[in-house]
């Protein structure tokens, strides 16, 4: 019996892995975006998050939920990140199910580098990530 080749895109596999890991309530998970030669790490915000991030190798991009669990807003997390010199120049993109008519302008005013609406568009997501890594801003599906 031969194995069938899977035709799933990297983004589909990545999104599926994030969903699977979030269901398990794991604190952190790792993965890869092979198409853009990027590694990713997924975790929940907590008391040790910033110190854990400081100990990671170079961080090129932060995808930030505006409504994370644990009684903190994504904007609070963004403010905490920007107070640390090692994260002042790292692009931060909001990834959220919040109303884009309200939150997109607020994210721009706050100084974020983009806004990606949930549910994530599996076709566009890798392109959006690559665009931000290439120095562009991404605001919704029109980037």
pLDDT in tens, 4-19: 343 333 334 444 444 4
Q: With 80 as the cut, is the pLDDT of residue 88 above it?
A: yes
pLDDT in tens, 39-82: 666 666 666 777 778 888 888 899 998 887 777 888 988 999 99
Q: Is 78 exposed, middle or buried (0-12, 13-18, 19+ CB in 10 A)?
A: buried
């Amino acid at each position: 019996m031969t194995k069938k080749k899977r035709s799933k895109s990297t983004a589909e596999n990545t999104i599926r892995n994030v969903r699977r890991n979030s269901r398990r309530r794991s604190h952190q998970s790792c993965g890869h975006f092979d198409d853009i030669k990027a590694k990713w790490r997924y975790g929940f915000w907590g008391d040790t998050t910033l110190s854990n991030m400081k100990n990671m190798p170079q961080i090129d991009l932060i995808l930030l939920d505006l409504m994370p669990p644990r009684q903190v807003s994504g904007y609070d997390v963004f403010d905490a990140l920007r107070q640390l010199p090692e994260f002042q120049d790292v692009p931060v993109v909001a990834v959220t199910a919040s109303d884009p008519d309200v939150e997109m302008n607020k994210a721009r005013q706050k100084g974020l580098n983009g806004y990606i609406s949930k549910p994530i568009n599996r076709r566009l997501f890798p392109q959006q990530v690559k665009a931000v890594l290439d120095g562009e801003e991404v605001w919704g599906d029109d980037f």
